[in-house]
Amino acid sequence: MLVTTKDLYLDAKKEGYAIGAFNVSTLEAIKAIINAAMKLKSPVVIETSEKEMSFLEPALVFDIVKELAKDLRIPVGLHLDHGKSLETVKEAIASGYTSVHFDGSGLPDGDNIKLTKAAAEMAHQRNLTIEGELGHIAGSSEMHGEQIIIDKKTLTDPEMAKKFVSETGIDILAVSVGNIHGIYKNEPKLDIERLAKIKEIGIPMSLHGGSGIPDDQIKRAISCGIAKINVNTELRMAYTETLRDELAENPDEIVPYEYLPEEIEAIEDVVEAKIRLFGSDNRI
Ligand code: 13P
């Protein structure tokens, strides 16, 4: 069933696991994520960034997810990822999304607090979940051939985070602790000490840039209060690389329902592995 996500994150934090929030821009990805979550009896979040949402159309994503989730026993959240304006947040809410992320991390702190608070009020009026972000998470959900150096000034400051959470009223905080979007040549190194300090605030935290983070660091992050982990690049890779290879092997194939099951399976495999790693399997 389609649900709002706050209670899922609170339970995950309490029990020491994290819920996967998986980005989608195709129907195949939506099906694959739901199949994997069903198979492993896991709560799951399906999310779209602004560009993914406008490509798929928010009302359509909502109808598809609602229909696919309607008779399932697993809770499924539909989440706006990195909404950069109140208009986008409003659009996602009006389309039926159950959870929204207002990302004001590119703004001065005062403006970020003001707008995140306004987004939180909008979400809470409808009993929906709101995620805020403090500290900037660099990169984009792609394979990057180069190294990335994270500027320490962009990391989440624990003291500022306390003020941010209390003044905005958010339900979950997206943190910048060495995580980046996409896969770069150098492995990410999470600042676990910083995370442990932010954990003291008490609300669940969200770890973006879930692709390419080594398993042991993911586990340590979960033990420090991470209750939601976003994954996009590894799903995009699984889909596109499988499609590329499959069509190269069968250049005369033109029937989508003949070839797309392989791409669905490739995404499903990635989602299943993440669900097991995050420990959200068999929670239903
Ligand atoms: P990755 O593309 O690195 O998995 O990050 C996804 C993400 O954080 C979406 O907000």
Across the strands, what pairs with 101? 131
Task: Give tens-digit pLDDT for 146-192.
Answer: 999 999 999 999 999 999 999 999 999 999 999 999 999 999 999 99
Domains, in order of start, for the chain? 6-278 (3.20.20.70)
Give the Cα separation of 241 and 78 in Å (integer). Answer: 26
Alpha-carbon distance of 110 to 114, in angstroms, equals 6
Positions annotated as catalytic residues are: 81
| Eight-state DSSP code of residue 99 | E
Torsions phi, psi for 54 (to 5 deg): -75, -30
pTM, rounded to two decimals: 0.98
Tens of pLDDT, residue by residue over 83-113, are 999 999 999 999 999 999 999 999 999 999 9
Q: What is the pLDDT of residue 216?
A: 98
Across 254-271, average pLDDT:
98
E strands within 117-177? 129-134, 139-143, 172-175
Residues 217, 203, 112, CA angle at the centre, nearest 5°? 95
Which residue has the least CA distance to atom 1 on ligand 1? 209
Average pLDDT over residues 268-272: 98
Atom number, ligand 1, closest to the C-alpha of residue 231: 4
Q: Which atom of ligand 1 is nearest to the CA of 183?
A: 3
Site residues for ligand 1, CB cut-off 6 Å: 23, 81-82, 141, 181-182, 208-211, 230-233
